[in-house]
Amino acid sequence: TEPESTLHIEPSSLHAASAKPNPIVSYQSIQKSFGDLHVIKGIDLDIYPGEKIALIGPSGSGKTTLGRMLMTLEEPTSGTILIDDEPLWQTELKGKRIRANEKHLRKMRSKVGMVFQHFNLFPHMSVLNNVSMAPRSVLKLTKEEAEEQAIMMLRKVGLDQKLQVYPSQLSGGQKQRVAIARALVMQPKVMVFDEVTSALDPELVGEVLFVIKEIADEGQMAMMLITHEMEFAREVADRVVFGADGLIVEQGTPEDIFTNPQSERLQAFLKRFL
């Protein structure tokens, strides 16, 4: 039998084990309008280190806008976004909160990677240069170091045989895998995948989802997957967030959301995918 002493656990260590880490991303009371169009109407959302969130919902409900905010491509009309406990749009100067300067934004942006629906590769650069450019110019790695990192990431997405090829010679699925490698090579803490398969021919969707699933399974990076691929969301996400009309309507485990949706809104939305 076990000696009794092995059952003795310090209360403080119990507490530490149950305490959640701080979120890597925290949207706090976020609103966003484009002119008269009130797109985001008050979103609070925390994403924890390593957590995989799938963001689902009807077109026009503000999912892309939420993703773009992390990349500083859109600024909220009100509310705060924290990345790694630091506000995205503000910085401190002599103890006072001031509007962030470009240097602060660059630092914050470096924690985030984003992959878009339309790849956005540089057409005049080889695959290798597309992926190694930012490590050279932003991280100031040498050409050799940057290329070594880039090749490692291209191997991960199965394209290390295409280093000298130009984007126009690649299929849509291959282009998207290069775009993923290009984001990964910067070692972000959180990656936003914004409808990355919706511009692809159906037969090319699988290879891209496969690569994302493999990266997800590595575990350490948080992910925000904006997607209409419900099967994929179910498979990869730790938590599914359903948004509509600029608000979070319902969120939970994939099981909760897909098998036992509570709101009529979500039930109606999911029917479309049956």
* Footprint on this chain of ligand ADP (rule: CB under 6 A): 34, 37, 39, 57, 59-65
| List of residues 6+ apart from 26 with CB closer than 8 A | 45, 46, 47, 80, 81, 82, 83
Task: State the nearest-atom distance from the C-beta of 59 to ligand ADP, in Å.
Answer: 4
Torsion of CA 209, 210, 216, 221, to 10 degrees: -70
Q: Based on CB atoms, which residue is closest to ligand ADP, 19 or 37?
A: 37
- Pick 107 or 118: Cβ nearer ligand ADP: 118
Task: Give the residue with the Cβ less far from ligand ADP, 39 or 204.
Answer: 39
Pick the closer one to ligand ADP by CB: 65 or 176.
65
CA–CA separation, 48 vs 190, rounded Å? 9
Least distance in angstroms from the C-beta of 117 to ligand ADP: 10
Residue 66 beta carbon to ligand ADP: minimum distance, rounded to whole angstroms: 7
> Nearest approach, Cβ of 68 to ligand ADP (angstroms)?
7
Contact 246, 61 (CB under 8 A): yes
The 222-226 sheet, strands edge to edge: 112-115, 190-194, 222-226, 52-56, 239-244, 247-252
Decide whether 156 or 239 has the Cβ nearer to ligand ADP.
239
Q: How far is CA 123 from CA 92, 132, 169, 226, 240, in A?
A: 39, 14, 10, 25, 35
Q: How far is the CB of 101 from ligand ADP (least distance, A)?
A: 23
Between 65 and 197, name the residue whose CB sits nearer to ligand ADP: 65
Between CA 158 and CA 124 the distance in angstroms is: 22
Residue 22 beta carbon to ligand ADP: minimum distance, rounded to whole angstroms: 27
Question: Amino acid letter at 273?
Answer: F
- CA–CA separation, 23 and 135 (whole Å): 26
